[in-house]
Structure 1
Amino acid sequence: MKTPSGPTDWNFLTPQLPVSDIRETQAYYRDVLGFKIAWIWREEYGAVYNGRTEIFFSREEGEIRPVCCFVRVDNADEVLAVYRDRGVKIVEEIASHPYGMREFSIEDNNGHRFRIGHSEGPVESATPGGSG
């Protein structure tokens, strides 16, 4: 991945997911997904982290509109085995895809989905820079 070099280059992206209960969500991410709790502020905002990944949560009233995030890992099969043992809701079984990724999908306790995968090598039909 390229190192930021210009005024409009982004350094890091942290998703902020809407949740119904900050503490309950943090506990789920800690106990089930293997994250650590980073902080909580006034029961309105909170965060968890795992390796180089951080996720912010914001408490929302009413219906939560789920989002989907992609997570790159070293070995998706190993992550799946751990998550299956912990009772994580698997919504898409692991598969190798023609675009060079091996992925599966989970759903958290608020309905948010995560596609978790690793690269299986270069894809011959991919166009560098997405220009065609």
Structure 2
Amino acid sequence: MANSESFSHSAVIFPVSNLENSIEFYTQKLGFEKTFEWGKPMYYAVVKKGGVGIHLTKRSDGGRPSKYHRALYIFVNDIEKVNKNCKDQNVRIVNDLEERDYKMRDFDIEDPDGFIITFGKGD
């Protein structure tokens, strides 16, 4: 098995129904920056904010995200600010900001395709 030092970073890849709508959601509502796009017409894009990268690809099947399992957990430094920004931008919050028994203060949002993303901060 490879030494863990050979690992650089990872990316989540979300298959989305409308790539332009997803890019707009992540850039306009959550403050990400589109850093890459591929295809003519475009069928793949990358949005980044800080150390978090989300790859978006045009969905080619009928798959739907889980309504129970989180697709991505993003650790943040200022949970109150992120929560306020999401509310100000009318982002769909599916679980309010709370202290959890697993020692995190977090909340969940849902993106336009139904992916549940959690923002959290530990002690």
Q: Which TM-score band applies after superposition, normalised by the shorter structure?
A: 0.7 to 0.9
User: How far apart, in 1, do the equivalents of 2:57 and 2:102 lie?
Assistant: 34
Does residue 26 of structure 1 match 2:23? yes
Match in the other structure for 2:110: 107
- For 2:89 and 2:61, the matched residues in 1 are separated by 28
Separation (CA, whole Å) in 2 of partners of 1:103 and 1:64: 27
Residue matched to 2:92:
89
In the alignment of these two chains, the number of paired residues is 115
Q: Displacement of 1:76 after TM fit?
A: 1.4
Secondary structure class of the residue paired with 2:119: strand
Identity among equivalent pairs (%): 25
Query: For 2:12, which of 6, 15, 18 is the aligned residue?
Result: 15
Spell out, residue by residue over 1:13-71, the C-alpha distance to the aligned partner (whole angstroms, 9 max, x if none). 11011001222211111111111111111122111011111111111135342261101
Aligned position for 1:66: 65
Q: Which has the higher contact order (CA 8 A, sep 6+)?
A: 2
TM-score by length of 1: 0.80
Measured in 2, the distance between the counterparts of 1:80 and 1:98 equals: 19
Structure 2 unaligned runs (5+)?
none
What is the TM-score when the length of structure 2 is the normalising length? 0.86
Q: Which has the higher Rg, Structure 1 or Structure 2?
A: 1
1:93 aligned counterpart, secondary structure: strand
What's the C-alpha RMSD, in Å, of the aligned pairs? 1.6
